[in-house]
């Protein structure tokens, strides 16, 4: 049975009723896998949703393209960027820029997802890559940021690495769709990166990530197989084992004789 792609109204109606699932996917294969697995929401690179084949692969995924704010520019740049993506089939856009930029897009009816807590592109303001909101003062700052996003017209916010108790209290006090990355089940959706779930990440694994497969080992195995296959090819060429007769074509002997007479006469 095919699924219906949720609207913003659908997501708002589900707030507080069940946990939605969200992934950051980078490729068409990952998007198709998310679709077939029943994931609700995906964050994607802009170029993925601009691919004309994207909606064939992921017809029911609520799709949110995004880039770091410094990759896009001013508020006007964001509007032009968002319109292009919305036209291509995006359901909302992610924006970690300031409230004025978010309001500028929201005023033009572009659905915007903001970001609170640990914001990687602005982590210097909160002390680096660590949890945000572990004191009453910093927890209030997260809450106030959510209220600022509400006022700017955002439809939701990623809330990243905020204490679970704080995130739950905030989610209960906002109309925004709260997307939890390491902020517990008191929000509206759980958000992980596909590369972490698939075990592709060879570096630091965030506390909130969970590995379900070991693609890194599989990639190592495939690379070893590539090297072995290429090495065998080199050896075959050097030993003249390749090409074999089945890999080439022949000319009819009569045609070859005629060709040789002509080519010898031309030299």
End-to-end, the C-alpha distance of the chain in Å comes to 72
How would you classify the pairing of strands 93-94 and 62-65?
Answer: unpaired
Residues paired with 117 in a beta bridge: 160
**DSSP letters for 170-238:** HHTT-SSEEEEESS-TTSSEEEEEHHHHTT---SPPPTT------HHHHHHHHHHHHHHHHHHHHHHHH
Residues in the chain: 267
Compute how many other C-beta atoms are within 10 angstroms of the C-beta atom of residue 210: 10
Q: How far apart are CA 90 and CA 82, in angstroms?
A: 9
Collapse the DSSP code of 252 into the 3-class scheme (helix H, G, I; strand E, B; otherwise coil) and give the result: coil
Cβ neighbourhood burial of 54 (10 Å; 0-12, 13-18, 19+): buried
Residues that are catalytic: 160
Residue 44, number of CB atoms within 10 A of its CB: 28
Residue 195: CB partners within 8 Å, gap ≥ 6? Answer: 24, 26, 201
CB 67 within 8 A of CB 46: yes
């Amino acid at each position: 049975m095919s699924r219906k792609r949720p609207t913003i109204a659908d997501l708002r109606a589900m707030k507080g009723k069940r946990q939605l699932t969200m992934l950051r996917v980078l490729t068409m294969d990952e998007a198709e896998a998310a679709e077939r697995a029943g994931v609700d929401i995906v964050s994607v690179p802009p170029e993925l949703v601009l691919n004309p084949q994207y909606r064939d692969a992921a017809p029911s995924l609520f799709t949110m393209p995004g880039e770091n704010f410094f990759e896009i520019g001013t508020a006007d740049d964001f509007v032009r960027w968002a319109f292009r993506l919305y036209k291509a089939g995006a359901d909302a856009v992610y924006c970690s820029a300031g409230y004025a930029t978010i309001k500028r897009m929201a005023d033009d009816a572009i659905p915007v997802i903001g970001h609170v807590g640990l914001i990687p592109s602005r982590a210097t303001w909160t002390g680096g890559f660590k949890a945000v909101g572990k004191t009453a003062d910093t927890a209030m700052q997260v809450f106030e940021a959510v209220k600022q996003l509400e006022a700017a017209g955002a439809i939701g916010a990623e809330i990243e690495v905020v204490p679970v108790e704080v995130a739950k209290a905030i989610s209960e006090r906002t109309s925004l769709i709260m997307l939890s990355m390491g902020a517990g089940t008191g929000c509206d959706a759980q958000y992980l990166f596909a590369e972490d779930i698939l075990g592709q990440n060879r570096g630091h694994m965030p506390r909130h990530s969970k590995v379900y497969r070991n693609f890194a080992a599989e990639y190592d195995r495939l690379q070893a197989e590539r090297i072995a296959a290429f090495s065998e090819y080199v050896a075959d060429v050097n030993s003249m084992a390749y090409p074999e007769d089945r890999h080439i074509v022949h000319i009819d002997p009569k045609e070859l004789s005629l060709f040789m007479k002509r080519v010898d006469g031309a030299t």
